[in-house]
Amino acid sequence: MTDTKTRIEDTVKTNDVVLFMKGNKQMPQCGFSQRVAGVLNYMGVDFHDVNVLADEDIRQGIKTYSDWPTIPQLYVKGEFVGGCDIITEMTLSGELDTLFTDNGISFNQDAADKIREANG
């Protein structure tokens, strides 16, 4: 587990935005991963994707690392943000915009506003 934990830590600390997901950003393999990756892609966020289906150690290890039972999991600047429901809520409330702005993560504000308009 130590090697897996080290790999996860290295990933979340060397990338500003990381999404542990089923599949990848071009081809998510579950609806929840698709939703979060879709939001990030639509908002133009440059993020590193980790396909947990390709590595069982990472798939289980990330749940232990975050103490969060589900995937996807979003990390910003090394900090766990949440899963699909939390990211959806943060997107609709504008909290995700604030988190990105506060951490110097570039994103398309117009796209973020369009998501809220479409779901408002």
Query: What is the reported pLDDT for 60?
Result: 96
Q: What's the chain's average pLDDT? A: 96
Distance, CA of 54 to CA of 76 (rounded, Å): 22
Residue 51 has pLDDT above 80, yes or no: yes
Query: What is the reported pLDDT for 2?
Result: 72
84 belongs to an annotated ligand binding site: no
Tens-digit pLDDT profile for residues 82-116: 999 999 999 999 999 999 999 999 999 999 999 99
Write down the H helix ranges in 28-83.
31-42, 56-66
Tens-digit pLDDT profile for residues 10-30: 999 999 999 999 999 999 999
According to CATH, the topology of domain 2-118 is: Glutaredoxin (3.40.30)
Query: What is the reported pLDDT for 1?
Result: 55
For the whole model, what pTM was predicted?
Answer: 0.96
Number of Cβ within 10 Å of residue 53's Cβ equals 15
Query: What's the number of CA atoms in the CB half-sphere (13 Å) around residue 77?
Result: 8
